[in-house]
Amino acid sequence: MTTRRGLFVAPFDPLADPRVIGDLAAAAEAAGWDGFFVWDHLQYGERVEAIADVWTCCAAVAMRTERLLFGSMVTPLARRRPQVLARQAASLAVLSGGRFVLGLGLGDDWVGEFSAFGDESVPQVRGAMLDEGLEVLTSLLSGAPTDHDGAHYAARDVRFQPAPAVPIWLAGRFGNRAPVRRAARYDGFFVIGLDGPDDLDAVTADLREHAAAPGFDVVVDLQPEQDPEEWTDCGASWVLTRIGPFDLDLGEVRRIVDAGP
């Protein structure tokens, strides 16, 4: 298995400018990185002041690169309307010639990204919204006629023009079984909270049990100082280098990017 290397970039503070993100993505492509993935947050605690919009950043990446895979990592679907997200994803897939990857998950409320805006939903509710929203989203992206009338979303007699394929990676914390079952139905699993590379054995066994398709991606992220080799030997198809979230220095970020994978 060939393991690809990417960057996992928080668009915060000195990076909270889509022009800077576009510059970094162009530099990443020149340095030999395979992917460039941008965090999707509304706020991130008192230590982060400025945050850029993930979709504007992704458009900048699409326009400044030719080869890189890129995308949101990860977007809480419960915070968005699936029909709007389908339009955004389809447009980015067209803009990039089919290089856009959509990362989705439940989202956390540890800094009030839900409750501060009047959404008091608990993880179980957000999980149900994620499952239902995925049905609507994937149907719309396929161009198939969509009729859905569920507990959280409705789409009645609508059809979108089919877009280039948009791979969907689902995120989940290591040790939770529901995210594995959910992810196995799609294109990849971004595993959060691994203690070490040996934990990937349990993840890949679960994915086999739930019949993940051939070519399914297992994605992990590491700090810049961590050695990726031991992770590539344990079943990760993507190893991302984390940039952020705190005390970002643009010069140091550029050094990491320019050094390549």
Domain 4-259 belongs in CATH node 3.20.20.30: yes
Residues 134-157, mean pLDDT to the nearest whole number: 94
Residues 23-38, mean pLDDT to the nearest whole number: 98
**CA 220/CA 6 separation, integer angstroms:** 10
Q: Which residues contact 259 (CB under 8 A, 6 or more apart)?
A: 31
What local confidence, expressed as pLDDT, does residue 212 receive? 84
**Which residue from 151, 120, 122, 119 is spatially nearest to 135, judged by alpha carbons?**
151
Residues 119-137, mean pLDDT to the nearest whole number: 93
Taking CA 52 as the corner, what is the angle to CA 28 and CA 29, rounded to the nearest 5 degrees? 10
Average pLDDT of the chain to the nearest whole number: 94
Single-letter amino acid, residue 119: D
pLDDT tens digits along 208-240 = 888 788 899 999 999 999 988 888 888 899 999
What local confidence, expressed as pLDDT, does residue 249 receive? 97
**CA 170/CA 191 separation, integer angstroms:** 9
Domain residues of the chain, as ranges?
Answer: 4-259
Neighbours of 133 (CB within 10 A): 25
**Which string of b and e fits 82-114 if b means at least 16 CB within 10 Å?**
bbebbebbbbbbebbeebbbbbbbbbebeeebb
